[in-house]
Amino acid sequence: MPYDEVQSAFYVRLTMDDNAFAKGEISALFVGASFLSRAAKPESELAFVTEPLSGSLLCEKLDCLKDEGAQILSVIRVADC
């Protein structure tokens, strides 16, 4: 099966100037996403884990966030354990 068709959850870290707007956009695009937090993180940084989806659909949704001003810092596939 091609890499971009494999269903998996993803850890995504990004920055966006308006956190409230960003969380709304993420929640709308990635239904069921779980937001993460850590101490001493930069104010504009957000991290979340998606529900399982294909790599190609993830890229489409991340492009929508980029169009709204998000800068994607990292994307990591989450193994199914």
Interior CA angle at 45 toward 59 and 60, to 5°? 10
pLDDT at 41: 86
Residue 49 scores a pLDDT above 70: yes
Distance separating alpha carbons of residues 28 and 17, to the nearest angstrom = 18
pLDDT per residue as tens digits for the range 33-45: 999 998 988 889 9
> What is the band of 81 on the pLDDT scale with cuts at 50, 70, 90?
low
